[in-house]
Structure 1
């Protein structure tokens, strides 16, 4: 799938994979890839700025955890993030309905032949 396919939908993807609980960056990348059946591959250079932005907006909360000698940032949804995800899902449903109606029109009544 084209790399620009997620443009405009990255926030929703990140919020959705964090809905089930906190994850660190690499786990978020892996979750998106697994949920998409390998069709979506996010890069670190793409998700970390988005995660930082979502955190600044109050949609995510991040904290540091230690794993052995390493520290990694773990992200989780806030209540505002859950509300935003619900809105994103509603907007997505409306979008795919509208696009589907154009790409796959049903029989039109009164159509001239």
Structure 2
């Protein structure tokens, strides 16, 4: 098993959570999401992002509005719905619990390694 494959799967597993967090800060354009995710080293391409945004919209977690652009076609800006905010809050709780659990396991492993 290649470590790169495992790393990609770990990042994919938290992609939806990260996208909802980005959108939770206010109206956001898809290319700005891509830029932020890429700068955070969560590599994602348009072919992954757009279907995920559509799925989240169809689930009622986000909505969008079209905004006219002075330099081209109208842009679609995404926002969280009330249901999306509640969903993100629940995911946040799960993330914090999971991160604490993983950190506990890592610390125990490190402590064991230090005694050997």
The two structures, once aligned, show a CA RMSD in angstroms of 2.1
Which residue of the partner structure matches residue 55 of structure 1?
Answer: 57
Kindly indicate whether residue 88 of structure 2 is the aligned counterpart of residue 88 of structure 1: no
1:29 aligns with 34
Residues 16-25 or 63-72, more deviating: 63-72
In the TM superposition, what whole-angstrom CA distance separates every residue of 1:64-111 from its partner, at most 9, and x where no partner exists? 222123122110011111111111111011111111121211869xxx
Higher helix share: 2
TM-score normalised by structure 1 residue count: 0.82
> How many corresponding residue pairs?
106
1:5 corresponds in structure 2 to 10
TM-score (norm 2): 0.80
- Which consecutive residues of structure 1, in runs of 5 or more, have no partner in the other structure? 109-113
1:74 corresponds to which of 73, 77, 84: 77
Q: Secondary structure at the match of 1:104?
A: helix
Q: Could you say which residue in structure 2 is the equivalent of 1:104?
A: 107
State the Cα deviation string for residues 29-64 of structure 1 (Å, max 9, x = none): 112234x2xx22221111111100100111101122
Aligned counterpart, 2:21: 16
